[in-house]
Structure 1
């Protein structure tokens, strides 16, 4: 899955200033085995509860900017704290988890570790946080503005005209369709199947049938 081990002190490299000590407190208190993963397109982080053979395990994608990394780590820590309090008796993203995640976020918001735009986006959803930051378009838009793109142009689905073809990270080609409430209905060209895409889904490239070989993506 592309995970890597690193000394716990390296965690500072992935976190905003003044957040390492409070995060480390949780990791030590609950004996968390934390790993940093390479980019995973389907998830930003994951959590596995303790068993008689293993401690709590959390992984977070290492390609995230420091604010996204912290929010994702707090998301997974909220799962841990929910398990410690309720075991498997509650839904994974139910009201118990939302309450605990909101309390964790509030703890860090009060210490001004987030820029004002991220802070306001978090406060907006504090009492009913989404199951994923990817599901909150307002928060996701703000967080993406802090990504380092190394001069590479970023293309979001919302930037493409209706009917445009685009390539996803796994090399599939889609045709953008109409917006259905919050997401765009897009057709996979090869299979004619319909999928819903977030407006902020990053495409690899627009697809030009006349220059197809120029836009063939590399491995995801």
Structure 2
């Protein structure tokens, strides 16, 4: 729980400091019949925002989110990753962001465990980054799915999943699991604690040795209904 609180304290700081420069650049546009996301006839909307290195504060890539009535799909690209290291991407869902302590800017301590907010943390994807140091991650989450939930790790209420894809505030968080280790790669790219012996703290340091892990990057997608 403490780690999540630190993350969101930082996220809210970024929201405040860069709202004019970064988050207001976030675009929302219609996408008609996206076959990767929707059944025939469904419309969708897409959003684009910056990927932020939480250790340095630098803008290091771009993230895209597509929403429709069935679920959400994210593509998250960062250009400053470490070749040969394992990474996982995580959904942090705020189902009812209007009920957050700061409406539509979720992450205050009071939001955690608040049944009126409905916070969910779930696995989105993962892989080992290649020689270029550029990593692209993608994930899809259906409404109501609790597959890959790690709510229990953070002491959150039992998972209920994404309630309304067209309304939730969505955060994507990238976790660095250190150098890929033969025999451990599957755990490193598919679970939150995979390969982790030492946690360096949230947005404090970039792992560089086997067994070191940290959450290092994030992107924030506002609710389409945010004022």
TM-score, normalising length from structure 1?
0.29
More helix by percentage? 1
The structure that has the greater radius of gyration is 1
